[in-house]
Amino acid sequence: MSKFTAAKLVEFYQKVADGGVMEFLISSGEEYLAHPKGPTFADNTEHWRIKPAKKKKKIIDLEPLIASGIDCEFSNFVDNDEEIGPLLCLDDRDDFKYEGRVLYFQKCRPRMNYKMCHDGSKPIEGFVATVYFASGGSEYAISTSDPTVYWRDVKAIEYLEVEDGYAYPWEQAE
């Protein structure tokens, strides 16, 4: 039976400060429950654990798509109908207005798996994309949030997927 030392308590409470949840082993010996009070020097270390906090994802800012000319995919939660075209605006409720028809959609993203011209500016952060250079040569998948890429040389881009650690605005409540 191992008791908490000062160093172990500091480490334990630091994990709590980082967003972890304190859990205590209940009498059955197999199930842990969240506990509002933490351990002390007298407690057995085997009776306590930290349930890791879920990492908060960065929300992808889709505002740069407005009037950018980039093809977007629009859809709603209720049906699988999808429209493609440029983004006109975001309304007060964060719905996306599609330019092709005067409709509002709850989801919008750059058109995926579709090669499109790129003007050399930094693209929307939070995606993995294949980039194509004017000089030809190699093409490769990179993170659009990579600060080392020299975007002025990129002439075409193909968005592939959302990068780890990022989420769409409508996923932030999940």
156 lies in a domain? yes
Check whether residue 91 and residue 166 sit in a common domain: yes
Cβ–Cβ < 8 Å for 144, 125: yes
Check whether residue 127 and residue 152 sit in a common domain: yes
Q: What is the mean predicted confidence (pLDDT) over 87-100? A: 72
Check whether residue 138 and residue 161 sit in a common domain: yes
Check whether residue 19 and residue 105 sit in a common domain: no
- Could you tell me the two tokens for 59? 């929300």
- Give the tens place of pLDDT for each residue, 135-168: 776 777 889 988 888 888 888 899 999 998 899 8
Domain that holds residue 167: 59-171
120 lies in a domain? yes
Check whether residue 67 and residue 99 sit in a common domain: yes
User: What pLDDT was estimated at residue 79?
Assistant: 67
- Give the tens place of pLDDT for each residue, 96-133: 777 655 567 888 899 999 999 888 888 889 999 998 88
- Give the tens place of pLDDT for each residue, 26-82: 876 678 888 888 888 888 888 898 887 777 789 999 888 887 888 888 888 776 677
Check whether residue 128 and residue 156 sit in a common domain: yes
Check whether residue 79 and residue 23 sit in a common domain: no
- Burial class (CB within 10 angstroms; exposed 0-12, middle 13-18, buried 19+) of 149: middle
pTM beyond 0.85, yes or no: no
What is the residue-wise DSSP string for the chain? --BPPHHHHHHHHHHHHTT-EEEEE-TTSS-EEE-SS---TTSBGGGEEEEPPPPPPEEP--GGGBTS---EEEE-SS----EEE-EEEE-TTSPEEETTTTEEESEEEEPBT--EE--SS---SSEEEEEEETT-S--EEEETT-TT--GGGEEEEEEEEEPTTEE-GGGTT-
Check whether residue 119 and residue 148 sit in a common domain: yes
Cβ–Cβ < 8 Å for 76, 104: no
1 lies in a domain? no
Tokens 């992808």 correspond to 60
Check whether residue 86 and residue 156 sit in a common domain: yes
Q: What is the number of structural domains in the chain?
A: 2
User: What pLDDT was estimated at residue 26?
Assistant: 81
